[in-house]
């Protein structure tokens, strides 16, 4: 036996040397590959920064798109604007780690690169930034370190300019009493508050935490000494508590895992595919450097027609550069595939020679007893699964093989790849398995992201175990009632979905199955990476550590049945008496270690009983408290419950002050942070004047007018948390508009004004427009629904303002109203012209898409056909839904949902309906591209529209309107929206082909008063589009 084992170890050592030689040859070409790639990276950076111009080779086949007349405006700003901001934000997984505040800082990123050491070791990510209002550090570096190569971790002490600009922390006010009423802004209550309150800095999610050391995540960021504020220090007791929490290492482990993910995404996804990512999604840019608003300047994928002419040429060169990078990556992948093929061949030869040594020809037993049993038990995951009854069957293993190969379907460069795995267990004749069952086979499909670990997609059992008798089946055991029940067994791995039984897991099915998959993948990867290459050494190490195997008594049927009758695996081991104490201790230690790593526990009958008793006691306590009136109404929304649980009088609350369609705004200062829309934050409450009354069912704002007169409490409507995690309310000041505005100006020393939301939308970002729109729409709905439509009783706000209820004997609930509107661009039959129109109430000179409200019990496609027929007498066949957009300023206090569509006309003939439209015209692509291009030029919105009207005779809605994006998307295409193949198809929305051929609704078109009313609604909704288009 010793000589056989020695020969096995020698053969494995030879194969290991050959595999190491292959890897060394592959690694030797890594330097050459990195040099070629760095050359392309350097060229890309030169193009992005504007330090170089595209060559003729890079511009081969390039044809400028769009008007191009706005290219001169871009000459002052060289390079590709906000290249790295878009590349980082368009990577799906990375985008989840980037907050809205992070985007403001990443707008100043000028380059991203990975620096690889001369010797083996991990790369260092370097991100360079231009001068910005957040930090003074020019370059941020991060290296994760590596114990094998001895490389040390590298982090960056980001030099934040002040704590308010530190993106990794947020300020939380704590403590402090209430100041005196009045005198706010003159040193009265603010001074009192600042003297008795403290500001605590707490960590918050941010991409820039990637550059911080691991230890920072467990107890918050240590603020640099030069930024320390005496009021910003944490209490000593809280610091000690956080020290104890950080000592456990859980948060640090989570930080390390997140950093590894971000490092893999940056090196394997972003850097090799930056140009592709830049064009993969909506391109974002700062529309106004002073305001810092982000706007989507192009919603297409890969067609930058809306960008300036010089930038289009740079993007063409970047595409050429990306193609060269993809070719280089494909070449490297071919080299890797070649090495993998040679390694697979060596592994196969090793498996054949080892089997010949372990199972000589004609032998019915292995030369080394229980060889594979000991090898499998040396894997932690397998030790968790192999029971004493499994050991008796696994002692007859003749061979274990596991192979990995790439899927036949070729993956895109930089994308995740699929791997196919196959696990085979070959058995010698034994009394446990049926004579016909000598091989167990299971096939796997894994997904592997670049730089990531394999993830099990699905598996299939190709050959399952068949047992000689039910008494010898280790996967089941008899219960007290005599019925067979599942038992913890390694062989459950060869049963579909049996992983939770194999590893003896309990809990939620999805979580348990996910944990079982992780353990199974861990076992397979350990087999592939270590055990099957060093099986002889693993056997020797197990023997040296004194691990014993189940003796021959385990095969005795009487002992087997006695063990199967035990209630648990521990009782089985005691009754059978076949496990050595050292081996049992090893398996128990492995279970404890695995449970500790997972942070879980083993579910027992006692723990279930204790949990049930505790829940019963808690239920009784809750019933008592509810009867005592100590709980609020159960009808409150989850958002209101969360607010009431977390709010304290010292919290900072943001108010959006509205009256009708007007919003109270403040001018943005010259030193304001880009992207922080202070123009919407009319008031931040820190003292008791004004104060919030949150005790009743209605939320109220109490305040004292400047002249000392008695004030009227104003209703508050809870909107949610803003990006700085402040609770945000809408307050409707309509009952005391002039008094409250005077209070803000004199009592609070605020420079405020009222602006119509419709006129304010062009100056707001998408987030700010959404907040203001929600506040206006909700307050208008409350104003227009003072009485119940069912019983006529008075109604009051409830659930934080998200509902109203009447005060009748049987209270009814009222819900906010949303009116659906279709807005459609109609394409001509040949696909080269679009139908636009204007109503009598539209802005003079503006032509937009046709639109109208959806009638009750009417589909979207049917509404499109009806509205086009009513307004232009044009029949429509195909209808395609493109996107949606909210419009908060609807009629009668409603919020409208604009549903953007593209439709195809069946004829060119237009018959104007004066009751609906003032004029309807066909426009070709060249005219609409020219109209779109005017909005790409700088200047106030009225001036832009005036220039377009003077030059073209018309202008289209501005970029915050859904109509603008429908027109822009259609005009940017060279081909018709609908292909010729669509001519024989019905509408994509599911309307019948007969209705499509009829070109209109099955009900008659409206006319008379109904048409006039619809025309009035049309002028309110579709004339100017809506704010914050999400198309």
Higher pLDDT, 250 or 992: 250
- Give the per-residue pLDDT at 892: 56
- Give the per-residue pLDDT at 130: 92
Query: What are the domain boundaries of the chain?
Result: 367-603, 638-813, 819-1021
Q: Has residue 620 got a pLDDT over 80?
A: no
Dihedral sign for Cα 988, 990, 993, 998, please. Answer: negative
| Average pLDDT for 587-606 | 51
Q: Taking Cα atoms as reference points, which of 418, 442, 438 lies closest to residue 430?
A: 438
Inter-residue contact 817 to 809 (CB < 8 Å): no
Top mean pLDDT of 24-28, 329-333, 787-791, 819-823 is at 819-823
Top mean pLDDT of 285-294, 473-482, 669-678 is at 473-482
**Structure pTM?**
0.48
- Give the per-residue pLDDT at 436: 86
CA dist 981 and 990 (Å) reads 17
Ranges 510-514, 704-708, 742-746: which has the least confidence: 704-708
Q: Has residue 955 got a pLDDT over 90?
A: yes
DSSP reduced 3-state for 447: strand
Residue 474, classified by CB atoms within 10 Å of its CB into exposed (0-12), middle (13-18) or buried (19+), is buried
Higher pLDDT, 689 or 523: 523
Query: DSSP secondary-structure letter at 555?
Result: G
- The confidence band for 590, taking pLDDT boundaries of 50, 70 and 90, is low
Inter-residue contact 120 to 26 (CB < 8 Å): no
Please give the torsion angle defined by the CA atoms of residues 345, 346, 352 and 358, in that order, rounded to the nearest 10 degrees. Answer: -160
- Chain centroid to Cα 647, Å, comes to 28
Q: Has residue 357 got a pLDDT over 70?
A: yes
Q: Has residue 222 got a pLDDT over 60?
A: no
Count of CB atoms situated within 10 Å of the CB of 418? 15
Percentage with pLDDT > 90 across the chain: 15
Ranges 28-32, 392-396, 591-595, 796-800: which has the least confidence: 591-595
Ranges 352-366, 668-682, 932-946: which has the least confidence: 668-682
Top mean pLDDT of 359-373, 404-418, 569-583 is at 359-373
CA angle 385, 391, 395 (to 5 degrees): 130
- Which residues are CB-neighbours of 318 under 8 A, at least 6 positions away? 44, 47, 48, 80, 275, 278
Q: Has residue 783 got a pLDDT over 50?
A: yes
483-520 pLDDT, tens digit each: 778 888 899 899 888 888 888 887 777 788 888 888 89
Of the CATH numbers 3.40.50.300, 3.90.79.20, 3.40.50.150, 3.40.190.10, which one belongs to the domain with range 638-813?
A: 3.90.79.20
Q: Has residue 870 got a pLDDT over 50?
A: yes
- The confidence band for 922, taking pLDDT boundaries of 50, 70 and 90, is very high
Q: Taking Cα atoms as reference points, which of 199, 201, 181 lies closest to residue 190?
A: 181
Higher pLDDT, 814 or 1031: 814
Which structure tokens are listed for 399? Answer: 């061979």
438-462 pLDDT, tens digit each: 899 999 998 887 666 788 888 999 9
- Give the per-residue pLDDT at 128: 94
Q: Has residue 868 got a pLDDT over 70?
A: yes
Q: Has residue 313 got a pLDDT over 60?
A: yes
Ranges 88-102, 290-304, 742-756, 830-844: which has the least confidence: 290-304
- The confidence band for 893, taking pLDDT boundaries of 50, 70 and 90, is low
| Average pLDDT for 471-488 | 81
- Would you identify the CATH topology of the domain 819-1021? Nucleoside Triphosphate Pyrophosphohydrolase (3.90.79)
- Give the per-residue pLDDT at 733: 84
- Give the per-residue pLDDT at 991: 36
Q: Has residue 289 got a pLDDT over 90?
A: no
Top mean pLDDT of 354-358, 570-574, 723-727 is at 354-358
Q: Has residue 148 got a pLDDT over 50?
A: yes
- Give the per-residue pLDDT at 689: 45
CA dist 995 and 993 (Å) reads 5
- Give the per-residue pLDDT at 408: 56
Inter-residue contact 365 to 549 (CB < 8 Å): no
Top mean pLDDT of 482-496, 872-886, 969-983 is at 872-886
Three-class DSSP labels, 855-923: CCCCCHHHHHHHHHHHHHCCCEEEEEEEEEEEECCCHHHCEEEEEEEEEEECCCCCCCCCCCCCEEEEE
Dihedral sign for Cα 65, 71, 74, 78, please. Answer: positive
Q: Has residue 377 got a pLDDT over 80?
A: yes
Q: Taking Cα atoms as reference points, which of 216, 270, 214 lies closest to residue 95?
A: 270
Query: DSSP secondary-structure letter at 45?
Result: H
CA dist 143 and 34 (Å) reads 18
| Average pLDDT for 585-599 | 49
Instruction: Please enumerate, as own/partner, the contacts of 477-481 that have beta carbons within 8 Å and a separation of 24 or more.
Output: 477/564, 477/565, 477/566, 477/572, 478/564, 478/565, 480/567
The phi, psi pair for 53, rounded to 5°, reads: -110, 155
pLDDT, averaged across the chain: 74
Residue pointed to by tokens 């579909």: 496
Higher pLDDT, 560 or 510: 510
- Give the per-residue pLDDT at 802: 83
Top mean pLDDT of 539-548, 571-580, 966-975 is at 966-975
Ranges 28-42, 263-277, 534-548: which has the least confidence: 534-548
Q: Has residue 581 got a pLDDT over 60?
A: no
| Average pLDDT for 639-653 | 70
CATH fold match for the domains 367-603 and 819-1021:
no
Q: Has residue 695 got a pLDDT over 80?
A: no
CA dist 934 and 944 (Å) reads 6
56-104 pLDDT, tens digit each: 888 887 777 655 544 433 443 468 888 899 899 888 888 888 988 898 8
- Give the per-residue pLDDT at 604: 62
Which structure tokens are listed for 820? Answer: 């659906």
Higher pLDDT, 1025 or 663: 663
Q: What is the CATH code of the structural domain delimited by 367-603?
A: 3.30.1120.90
- Give the per-residue pLDDT at 696: 61
């Amino acid at each position: 036996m010793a000589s056989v084992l020695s020969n096995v170890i020698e053969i494995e050592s030879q194969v290991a040397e050959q595999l190491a030689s292959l890897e060394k040859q592959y690694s030797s070409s890594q330097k050459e590959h990195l040099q070629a790639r760095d050359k392309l990276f350097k060229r890309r950076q030169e193009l992005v920064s504007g330090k170089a111009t595209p060559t003729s080779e890079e511009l081969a086949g390039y044809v400028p798109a769009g008007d191009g007349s706005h290219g001169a405006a871009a000459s002052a700003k060289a390079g590709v604007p906000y290249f790295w901001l878009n590349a980082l934000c368009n990577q799906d997984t990375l985008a989840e780690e980037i907050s809205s505040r992070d985007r403001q800082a990443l707008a100043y990123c000028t380059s991203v690169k990975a620096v690889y050491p001369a010797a083996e070791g991990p790369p260092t990510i370097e991100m360079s930034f231009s001068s910005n209002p957040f930090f003074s550090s020019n370059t941020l570096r991060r290296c994760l370190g590596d114990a094998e190569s001895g490389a040390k971790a590298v982090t960056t002490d980001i030099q934040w300019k002040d704590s308010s600009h530190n993106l990794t922390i947020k300020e939380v006010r704590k403590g402090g009493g209430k100041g005196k009423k009045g005198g706010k802004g003159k040193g009265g209550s603010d001074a009192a508050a600042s003297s008795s309150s403290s500001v605590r800095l707490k960590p918050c999610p941010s991409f820039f935490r990637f550059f911080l050391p691991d230890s920072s995540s467990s107890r918050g960021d240590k603020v640099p000494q030069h930024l320390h504020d005496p009021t910003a220090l944490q209490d000593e007791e809280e610091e000690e508590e956080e020290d104890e929490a950080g000592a456990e290492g859980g948060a640090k482990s989570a930080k390390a895992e997140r950093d590894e993910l971000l490092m893999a995404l940056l090196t394997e996804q972003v850097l090799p595919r930056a140009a592709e990512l830049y064009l993969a999604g909506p391109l974002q840019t700062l529309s106004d450097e002073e305001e810092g608003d982000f706007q989507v300047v192009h919603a297409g994928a890969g067609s930058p027609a809306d960008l300036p002419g010089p930038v289009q040429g740079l993007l063409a060169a970047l595409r050429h550069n990306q193609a060269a990078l993809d070719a280089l990556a494909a070449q490297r992948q071919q080299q890797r595939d070649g090495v993998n093929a040679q390694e697979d061949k060596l592994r196969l030869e090793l498996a054949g020679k080892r089997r010949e040594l372990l199972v000589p020809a004609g032998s019915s037993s292995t030369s080394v007893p229980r060889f594979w049993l000991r090898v499998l038990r040396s894997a932690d995951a397998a030790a968790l699964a192999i029971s004493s009854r499994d050991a008796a069957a696994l002692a007859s293993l003749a061979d274990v093989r596991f192979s990995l190969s790439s899927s036949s379907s070729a993956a895109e460069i930089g994308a995740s790849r699929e791997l196919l795995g196959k696990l085979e267990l070959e058995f010698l004749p034994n009394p446990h398995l049926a004579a016909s069952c000598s091989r167990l086979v299971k096939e796997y499909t894994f997904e592997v992201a670049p730089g990531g670990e394999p993830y099990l997609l699905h598996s299939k059992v190709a050959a399952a175990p068949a047992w000689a008798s039910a008494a010898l089946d280790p996967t089941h055991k008899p219960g007290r009632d005599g019925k067979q029940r599942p038992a913890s067994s390694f062989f459950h791995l060869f049963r579909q979905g049996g992983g939770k039984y194999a590893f003896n897991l309990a809990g939620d099915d999805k979580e348990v199955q996910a944990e079982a998959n992780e353990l199974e993948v861990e076992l397979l990867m350990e087999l592939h990476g270590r055990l099957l290459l060093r099986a002889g050494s693993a056997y020797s190490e197990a023997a040296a550590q004194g691990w014993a195997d189940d003796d021959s008594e385990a095969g005795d049927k009487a002992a087997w049945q006695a063990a199967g009758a035990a209630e648990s695996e521990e009782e089985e081991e005691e009754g059978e008496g076949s496990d050595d104490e050292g081996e049992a201790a090893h398996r128990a230690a492995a279970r404890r270690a695995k449970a500790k790593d997972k942070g879980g526990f083993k579910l027992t009958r006692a723990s279930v009983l204790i949990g049930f008793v505790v829940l019963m006691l808690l239920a009784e306590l809750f019933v008592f408290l509810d009867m005592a009136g100590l709980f609020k109404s159960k009808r409150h929304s989850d958002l209101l419950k969360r607010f009431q649980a977390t709010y304290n009088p010292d919290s900072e609350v943001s108010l959006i002050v509205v009256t009708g369609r007007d919003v109270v705004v403040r001018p943005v200062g010259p030193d304001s942070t880009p992207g922080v829309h202070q123009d919407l934050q009319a008031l931040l409450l820190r003292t008791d004047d004004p104060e919030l009354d949150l005790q009743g069912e209605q939320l109220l704002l109490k305040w004292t007018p400047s002249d000392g007169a008695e004030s009227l409490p104003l209703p508050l409507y809870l909107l949610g948390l803003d990006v700085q995690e402040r609770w945000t309310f809408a307050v409707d000041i309509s009952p005391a508009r002039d008094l409250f505005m005077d209070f803000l100006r004199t009592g609070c020393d605020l420079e405020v004004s009222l602006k119509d939301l419709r006129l304010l939308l062009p100056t707001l970002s998408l987030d700010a427009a959404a907040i203001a729109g929600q506040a206006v729409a909700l307050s208008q709905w409350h104003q227009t629904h003072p009485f119940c439509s069912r019983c006529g009783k008075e109604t009051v706000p409830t659930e934080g303002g998200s509902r109203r209820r009447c005060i009748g004997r049987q209270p009814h609930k009222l819900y906010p109203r949303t009116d659906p509107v279709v807005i459609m661009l109609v394409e001509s039959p040949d696909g080269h012209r679009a139908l636009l129109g204007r109503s009598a109430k539209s802005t003079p000179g503006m032509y937009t898409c046709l639109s109208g409200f959806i009638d009750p019990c009417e589909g979207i496609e049917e509404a499109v056909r009806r509205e086009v027929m009513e307004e232009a007498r044009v029949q429509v066949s195909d209808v395609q839904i493109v996107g949606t957009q909210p419009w908060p300023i609807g009629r009668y206090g409603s919020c409208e949902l604009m549903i953007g569509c593209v439709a195809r006309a069946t004829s060119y003939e237009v018959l104007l309906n004066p009751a609906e439209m003032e004029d309807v015209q066909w426009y070709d692509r060249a005219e609409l591209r020219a109209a779109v291009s005017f909005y790409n030029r700088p200047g106030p919105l009225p001036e832009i529209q005036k220039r377009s009207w003077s030059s073209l005779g018309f202008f289209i809605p501005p970029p915050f309107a859904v109509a603008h994006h429908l027109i822009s998307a259609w005009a940017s295409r060279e081909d018709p929206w609908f292909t010729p193949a669509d001519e024989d198809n019905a509408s994509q929305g599911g309307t019948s082909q007969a209705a499509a051929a009829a070109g209109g609704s099955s009900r008659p078109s409206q006319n008379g008063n109904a048409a006039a009313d619809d025309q009035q609604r049309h002028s309110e909704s579709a004339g100017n589009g809506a704010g914050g288009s999400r198309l």
